[in-house]
Structure 1
Amino acid sequence: MKSKFYALLLIAVLVLTACGAKSQSRDFPNLTPSGTMESPSFENDFASGEKSYDGMSPNVSGESGLPPANVVRLVIRNAELSIVVDDPAKVMSTINQMAERMGGYVVSSNLWKSVNYSGIEVPEASISIRVPANLLNQAIDEIKNLTNDRQKDVLSENVSGQDVTKEYTDLNSRLANLEEAEAQLRSIMEEAKKTEDVLNVFNQLTYYREQIEVIKGQIKYYEESAALSAINVSIKAHEAVNPISVAGWKPSVTVSKALQALVNSMQVIVDAVIWIVISVIPVLIIIFLPLYLIFLAIRAAVRRSNKKRLAKKQADTVQPTNPKE
C-alpha cells in the first residue's frame, strides 16, 4: 500500500516539474520593425499564458504584396503658360471662373503693376490653378483662346509629366505590411499579462501607427496630384511686351542696341585684361626678370668700382706733413 502511495507521489512531482519547465520556456518575441527608425524591443518574458509567440515577428520588409493586375499607373501632369493680353486682371478672373467650372480650384493669384520703357504703369498677373487631369488639355486651350492671337500672344507653353507608379505601388505594399504587423501586435497585446509587456507592445503599436499615417499621407498626395493637374499662368499686358513706336522710331529698340553695344565693349575690355594677365605678363616676367637681375648685378659692380677709384684718388691727393724740429 505504501509502495503504491510513493509511486503516485513520485509521478505527481514529475508532472509538476515538467509543467513548471514548460511555463518558464515561453518567451516573448523581440519585435524590431525594419526601417530607418529604431523602435523599442522587449526584454521580459511572459509570466503566464496559453500560447507560444516564438517566431511571430511582424513582416514589414516592404516587398510588393499587390498582384501586377492591381497596379494602378499614376502620372502627374502639370503645365506652365505665359500669355499676353489686353487686360490681365480680367483674364485672371476668367481663369479663376474656368477652374471652378471644371471642378478645380485656385491655388494662388497675384496682380501687380510694372513700369515700361516710357514710365507708364502696366498691370501684370499670375495665377496657379488645379483642374481635373482629364480636362488639362481643354483648360490649356481655353486659356490660349483668351489671347488676341494664339500664335503671337502665347509666349511660352510647357506641359510636363511625372510617372509615380513605382513609388505609389511601393507605398501601398509597405502600408499593407505595416497594417498586418499592427494587427499581429494587437493580437499579441491581448495575450500580454504583465504591465511591462503591455507597455512595450503599446510602444510598438505607436511606432507602427505613426509609420502607417505617414505612408497614407504620401499615398494621398500622389493620388490628389495625379487626379488634379496644376497650371501656372503668367499674364502680361501688351504695353509691357510690345516696344513703343513714335512715327516709326522705336526708342526701346535703340536703348536695347545701345546696351548691347556697351556690353560688347565691356566684354572686349575684360577679355583683353584676362589675356594680358594670364598670357602676356607671365611671358614678360620670364623674359625680362633675368635681364633685370643681370642689370642690377652690373650696376652694383660699377658702383663698387667707382667707389674704389674715388677712394684711391682721394688718398693720392692727401700728402703727409712732417713737423719741424
Structure 2
Amino acid sequence: MRYIFFLLFAVLTLSSCEKQIGSANVSDEAVSAIRVSSPGQPGEDKNAVIPQKIIKEAFLKFETNDLEKTFDQIKTAIAANKGSVQNDSQEKDYGTISRRLTIRIPSQNFDPFLESISKGISYFDEKNISSQNVTEQYIDLYSRLNTKRKLEERYIEILKKATKVSEILEIEKQISAIREEIEAKQGQLKYLESRVSESTVTIEFYKTIAQKEGVKISYGSKIWSAIQSGFYSLSDFLLSLISAWPFIILFCVLAYFIRKRFKRKKT
C-alpha cells in the first residue's frame, strides 16, 4: 500500500508543479534575462541565466539586370557572414526569369548580411523583416522539462524500493511515459534554439525579358507561326469530325427519313 501511496503522491506533485508553471506570468524585466533555479542534468548550472530568445526572419524581392552577377554578390555575402543556402530554385515565365534563395544566417550576422545584400539596390518590390520573442515559451518549456526530470528521479527512487511485480510494472510504465514527455520537450527546446541561433532570409530576384525577346521575333516568323497555328486548328477540326462519325451517320439517316416522309405528305 505504501508504494501506491508514493505513486499517488508523485502524480499529485507533478500536477501541482505544472499548474504553478502554467499560471506563472513572466514580466518584461524577467524576459531580458531570467535566472532559473531548478534541478537539471548533471553538470548543469542550477542558477542558469537564460538570455532573450529572438527569432529573426526576412524576405527581400527586387529586380536586377544580371542574374548571375547578383547571385555571385549574394554568395559572397553568405560566405562573409558564415551562412548557408538551404534552398535554391529558379523559374521562368513569359515576362521574367527569377531565382529564389532560402538562406540560414547566424543571428549575430543577420543585420550585417541584410546591409550587404541591400547595397546597390535602388528599391525593393518587397522587403519584410520580422522578429519574434520566444523567451517566455522557452522558459516555460525549460521549467516543465526540469519538473519532468525531477518526477522521473522520484519514480526511480520508488522503483528501487518496490518488491511486487505489479508495482514494478506500473512504476516502469509511468517512467516510460515521463521519458517520452522529456524527449518531446527536449526536441521542442532544440527546435527553438535552432531557429534562434540561425535566422532565415529569403531572397527573390528577377530579370524582365519580355521586351527584349519581342524585338528578336521577325515579321516573317510571326506569319509562319500563324500558318502553323491555322494548320493545327484545321487538323484538330478534322480529327473531331472523324471521332464523331457515328453521330454524323445517324444524323444523315434521320434526315433522309424525315425528308422522305415530307415528300409522301405532299403527294
TM-score (norm 1): 0.52
Provide the residue aligned with 1:311 in structure 2.
none
Alignment equivalent of 1:85, drawn from 64, 71, 96:
64
Q: In structure 1, what is the Cα distance between the partners aligned to 2:213 and 2:7?
A: 75
Which consecutive aligned stretches of 4+ in structure 1 deviate over 3 angstroms post-superposition?
55-58, 242-246
Alignment equivalent of 2:193, drawn from 216, 223, 246:
223
Instruction: Specify every segment of 5 or more residues in structure 2 that has no aligned partner in the other structure, as ranges.
Output: 22-34, 38-46, 216-267
Partner SS for 2:180: helix
* 8 A Cα contact 2:3 2:158, kept in partner: no
Provide the residue aligned with 2:115 in structure 1.
141
Q: Residue 157 of structure 1: CA displacement?
A: 1.1
Provide the residue aligned with 2:260 in structure 1.
none
Provide the residue aligned with 1:29 in structure 2.
5
Partner SS for 1:172: helix
Q: Residue 144 of structure 1: CA displacement?
A: 1.8
Partner SS for 1:142: helix
Q: Residue 29 of structure 1: CA displacement?
A: 2.8
Q: In structure 1, what is the Cα distance between the partners aligned to 2:90 and 2:68?
A: 7
Q: In structure 1, what is the Cα distance between the partners aligned to 2:206 and 2:176?
A: 53
Name the larger-Rg structure.
Answer: 1
Provide the residue aligned with 1:127 in structure 2.
101
Q: In structure 1, what is the Cα distance between the partners aligned to 2:7 and 2:82?
A: 47
Does 2:161 align with 1:187? no
Whichever residue aligns with residue 127 of structure 1, its letter is L
Q: In structure 1, what is the Cα distance between the partners aligned to 2:172 and 2:55?
A: 38
Q: Residue 97 of structure 1: CA displacement?
A: 4.9
Q: Residue 86 of structure 1: CA displacement?
A: 2.0
Structure 1 residues 292-307: aligned runs within 5 Å: none
Whichever residue aligns with residue 85 of structure 2, its letter is V
Which is richer in helix?
A: 2
Query: Cα distance 1:74–1:27, how it changes in 2: closer, same or farther (>3 A)?
Result: closer
Q: Residue 209 of structure 1: CA displacement?
A: 0.6
Partner SS for 1:207: helix
Q: Residue 104 of structure 1: CA displacement?
A: 2.4
Q: In structure 1, what is the Cα distance between the partners aligned to 2:48 and 2:160?
A: 37
Alignment equivalent of 1:151, drawn from 111, 117, 122:
122
Q: Residue 245 of structure 1: CA displacement?
A: 11
Query: Cα distance 1:176–1:129, how it changes in 2: closer, same or farther (>3 A)?
Result: same
Whichever residue aligns with residue 72 of structure 1, its letter is P
Alignment equivalent of 1:106, drawn from 43, 67, 85:
85
Whichever residue aligns with residue 164 of structure 1, its letter is V
Q: Could you give the per-residue CA deviations for residues 143-190 of structure 1, whole angstroms, max 9, x where no partner exists?
A: 222x4xx223x2221110111111111000100100000111111111
Q: In structure 1, what is the Cα distance between the partners aligned to 2:166 and 2:79?
A: 56
Q: Residue 98 of structure 1: CA displacement?
A: 3.3
Same amino acid, percent of matched pairs? 24
Q: Residue 66 of structure 1: CA displacement?
A: 2.3
Instruction: Specify every segment of 5 or more residues in structure 1 that has no aligned partner in the other structure, as ranges.
Output: 1-24, 33-54, 117-121, 247-325
Larger RCO (CA within 8 A; separation ≥ 6): 2
Provide the residue aligned with 2:55 in structure 1.
76
* 8 A Cα contact 2:10 2:155, kept in partner: no
Does 2:33 align with 1:59? no
Whichever residue aligns with residue 26 of structure 1, its letter is R
Q: Could you give the per-residue CA deviations for residues 107-157 of structure 1, whole angstroms, max 9, x where no partner exists?
A: 2110122212xxxxx421000001011111111122222x4xx223x2221
Q: In structure 2, what is the Cα distance between the partners aligned to 1:29 and 1:216?
A: 30
* 8 A Cα contact 2:100 2:203, kept in partner: yes
Does 2:175 align with 1:205? yes
* 8 A Cα contact 1:82 1:156, kept in partner: yes
Query: Cα distance 1:128–1:75, how it changes in 2: closer, same or farther (>3 A)?
Result: same
Q: Residue 89 of structure 1: CA displacement?
A: 4.1
Q: Residue 194 of structure 1: CA displacement?
A: 1.5
TM-score (norm 2): 0.63
- How many residue pairs align between the two structures? 190
Whichever residue aligns with residue 206 of structure 1, its letter is S
* 8 A Cα contact 1:84 1:235, kept in partner: yes
Whichever residue aligns with residue 87 of structure 1, its letter is D
